[in-house]
Amino acid sequence: MRHKENAQDVFDVFIKALEDIAKVETLSKAKGRNISIILTPIK
């Protein structure tokens, strides 16, 4: 299942790039073939 690990790596880079304007509300969740995160803007 290396593909899920690759997706997690991409999410980590994405989160790091947006850390000054958004925060992670919900960490990555896997449902079948989909992985999602919820980001909220920093006010």
For the CA atoms of 37, 40, 41, 43, the dihedral, rounded to the nearest 10 degrees, stands at -150
pLDDT tens, residue order, the chain (43 aa): 578 888 889 989 999 999 999 999 998 888 888 888 999 999 8
pLDDT confidence of residue 14 = 92
- Give CA–CA dist 43/35, Å, rounded: 26
**Domain spans of the chain, in order of start:** 2-41
pLDDT confidence of residue 8 = 85
